[in-house]
């Protein structure tokens, strides 16, 4: 475990240097720079050794870089989170949590954080993550950090002397960093195709057409624009910002006991105390999805092929274990879609085009290659 920790710390240090060197290219404001420094600071856990980046690494689409585990290990060896770490990239586009007839927006898989600022404050105090006993401990560490003066430049002289407001400002600064182009690049092959600067392969184009039609993916992973402060933009985020019960089984491959025998993860229903929301989890965006495995809230599906195959065959008798929460399961959009193995592979090929940092071989090509049109509307 000690060797693993040293290796992970070295990797985090390398990522920190790379991201700081790239910061100037994104023109970060002082608040965004402060948020970045906090995000990468491994001294803010108890004991030192874990930062936000430990579970939300740029090399892994800002999700956990350890693809061998379904959930993340905290700063204390042997303590693990209860759910798969979602990507911090593109999270800033999710609207604040609201609930009328259904839930929309929010952060964490179950929507328990109203917005990104509130989410950013959670891991510091979580005993299975960064393990600080209280906000005062976090602020004390920031007072000793090299960026303490920058904190007071951003939030005012003596800002660190008021623990409650300073801790709120920690979340505010991290949220500001997570809203920058460093995390939200829109530089995938898909984006280049949409801009007419690249072309899909035949398989990718077939996958796009299936995604948008017969496979019904776009009914929840919306491709017709994204919500941003109540407006719609041309850039697709591939989520409906809503919550669904996909009928996922428990993850029986955990190398540790996350839940006592018989305990059920109710997701959104457990947060709201509303039975009709039991088993529902937030629709993840699909940006950089090829980098963020394993998948789903409990990491039960290890590869993108597994994900597509589950959506295609969930209701085929004998193929999958029973759902952890058998109530409120989405039946209209997945379960027994009748897709062939080649069609599943084509959808995976399309999903692979959503990875940021795309560089065309040979300097790039021109031509549309198939714009994303047709379906892509909200489910309702």
Question: What band does 28 get if pLDDT is binned at 50, 70 and 90?
Answer: confident
Q: Are 293 and 303 in contact (CB under 8 A)?
A: yes
Q: Are 308 and 315 in contact (CB under 8 A)?
A: no
Which tens digits make up the pLDDT trace of 223-234?
Answer: 864 444 444 445
Asked which of 14-18, 100-104, 108-112, 253-257 is least confident by mean pLDDT, the reply is: 14-18
pLDDT at site 373: 42
Distance separating alpha carbons of residues 258 and 250, to the nearest angstrom: 11
Nearest to 279 by CA among 235, 331, 227: 331
Question: What band does 368 get if pLDDT is binned at 50, 70 and 90?
Answer: very low
pLDDT at site 361: 77
Tokens 């951003």 locate to 154
CATH node for 189-363: 1.10.760.10
Question: What band does 372 get if pLDDT is binned at 50, 70 and 90?
Answer: very low
Q: Are 200 and 192 in contact (CB under 8 A)?
A: no
What is the pTM for the complete model shown? Answer: 0.87
Rounded to 10 deg, the angle between the 148-155 and 135-143 helix axes is: 110
Domain 2-88+115-178 indexed as CATH 1.10.30.50: no
Burial 24-63 (b: 16+ CB within 10 A, else e): eebebeebbbbbbbbbbbbebbbeebbbbbbbbbbebbbb
Please give the backbone phi and psi of residue 286, each rounded to the nearest 5 degrees, phi first: -110, 5
Contacts by 294-298 with C-beta closer than 8 Å and gap 24+?
294/67, 294/70, 294/84, 295/84, 296/84, 296/246, 296/248, 297/83, 297/84, 297/109, 297/248, 297/265, 297/267, 298/70, 298/71, 298/83, 298/84, 298/248, 298/250, 298/251, 298/265
**Identical fold at 2-88+115-178 and 189-363?**
yes
Q: Cα 296 to chain center, whole Å?
A: 10
Which tens digits make up the pLDDT trace of 329-352?
Answer: 999 999 999 999 999 999 999 999
Tokens 């803010």 locate to 44
Q: Are 123 and 311 in contact (CB under 8 A)?
A: no
Average pLDDT, the chain: 87
379 pLDDT higher than 50: no
- Enumerate the domain spans of the chain: 2-88+115-178, 189-363
Which tens digits make up the pLDDT trace of 122-154?
Answer: 999 999 999 999 999 999 999 999 999 999 999
Which tens digits make up the pLDDT trace of 314-328?
Answer: 999 999 999 999 999
290 pLDDT higher than 90: yes
Strand pairing category for 226-228 and 231-233: antiparallel
6 pLDDT higher than 90: no
């Amino acid at each position: 475990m000690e060797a693993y920790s040293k290796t992970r710390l070295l990797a985090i240090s390398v990522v920190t240097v790379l991201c700081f060197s790239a910061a100037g290219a994104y023109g970060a404001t002082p608040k965004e720079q402060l948020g970045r420094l906090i995000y990468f600071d491994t001294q803010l856990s108890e004991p030192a050794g874990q930062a936000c980046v430990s579970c939300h690494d740029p090399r892994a689409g800002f999700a956990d870089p350890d693809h061998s585990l379904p959930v993340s290990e905290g700063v204390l060896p042997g303590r693990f989170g209860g759910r798969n770490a979602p990507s911090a990239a593109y999270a800033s586009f999710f609207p604040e949590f609201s609930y009328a007839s259904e839930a929309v927006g929010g952060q964490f898989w179950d929507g328990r954080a109203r917005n990104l600022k509130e989410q950013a404050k959670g891991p510091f105090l979580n005993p299975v993550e960064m393990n600080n006993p209280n906000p005062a401990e976090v602020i004390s560490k920031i007072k000793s950090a090299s960026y303490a003066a920058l904190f007071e430049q951003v939030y005012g002289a003596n800002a660190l002397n008021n623990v409650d407001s300073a801790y709120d400002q920690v979340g505010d600064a991290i949220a500001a960093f997570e809203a920058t182009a460093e995390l939200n690049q829109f530089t995938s092959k898909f984006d280049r195709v949409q801009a007419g600067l690249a072309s899909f392969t035949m398989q990718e184009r077939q996958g796009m057409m299936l995604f948008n039609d017969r496979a019904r993916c776009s009914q929840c992973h919306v491709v017709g624009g994204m919500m941003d402060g109540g407006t719609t933009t041309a850039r697709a985020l591939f989520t409906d910002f809503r919550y669904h019960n996909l009928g996922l089984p428990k993850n029986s491959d955990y190398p540790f006991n996350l839940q006592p025998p018989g305990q059920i993860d109710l997701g959104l229903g457990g947060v709201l105390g509303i039975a009709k929301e039991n088993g529902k989890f937030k629709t993840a965006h699909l940006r950089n999805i090829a980098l963020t495995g394993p998948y789903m809230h409990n990491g039960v599906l290890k590869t993108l092929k597994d994900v597509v195959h589950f959506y295609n065959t969930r209701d085929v008798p004998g193929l999958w274990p029973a759902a952890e929460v058998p109530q409120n399961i989405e039946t209209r959009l997945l379960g027994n879609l009748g897709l062939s193995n080649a069609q599943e592979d084509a959808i995976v090929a399309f999903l692979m085009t959503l990875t940021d940092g795309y560089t065309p071989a040979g300097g790039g090509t021109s031509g549309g290659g198939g714009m994303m049109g047709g379906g892509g509307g909200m489910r309702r």
